[in-house]
Structure 1
């Protein structure tokens, strides 16, 4: 039976680099990334390895996944896992970074921002609708409260994601 371990994420919108560094540290201790998990990552026991990790945000259909992966493999990166348009790659230390300049880094975050924005807008709308229905029809207090509790983390995540797409001088690129 393979040993598994869970590592909680600090939130990719807030501490992506820190998460990737922690995954590297865990690999050096013999716990390599296996897959995404709810609010974190599943690790599996393996031989200790020196690895670096990087994440890419790109909505790739199943038919294009092999071609997408080959592009990274040609640069020395191996796809470890994917989920909901997020793909984590690993490589040996010293491999050229996936993103080496500010403009391509901002493009990466712009791709993730769109998905976060759509979910945030949907939950914000449902929150406002449920509050309106509460006052107009007497809808239970619990429904607007539920939507508010769900919406707040998305709003904070969207704000952090949006901040990452802003250029050096605060202008969106």
Structure 2
């Protein structure tokens, strides 16, 4: 790599860093995946043929890229958008709990409208008469077993295995 190419990478990397550091910590990794091509001039993931199809739990790609998932469902109602964000969180962290502020941050970063009373939306979300989410703490929810099945079937996501980063105490 020559020095001019190196300087270009550094400039672009700093630009990307400015954007990413303003995002919610829960989505920074995926955001970098989306912008890595801008830095290097090449796609971040070299599996271009697997991006054509929807990941369905195959060993090669168990988590969809954030942009791919949200691009497939662009014009939903606010309540559907909330469940879509929950599906993405499920694809990343499995059935671990998630906070409403985390969902709002994701909604803001990807440009989705979610209900003002997000807690009531999740408490009342049902399919086939069964609750999709369980309230597990102050402003915190997790998918029920029925909810997990619904998210997998409806949004073609698989259960994530990442651990939530330890957030500061004070909830």
TM category, shorter: under 0.3
Taking structure 2 as the reference length, the TM-score comes to: 0.24
Q: Which has the higher contact order (CA 8 A, sep 6+)?
A: 2
- Indicate the structure with greater strand content: 1
TM-score computed with the length of structure 1 as normaliser: 0.23
Larger radius of gyration: 1
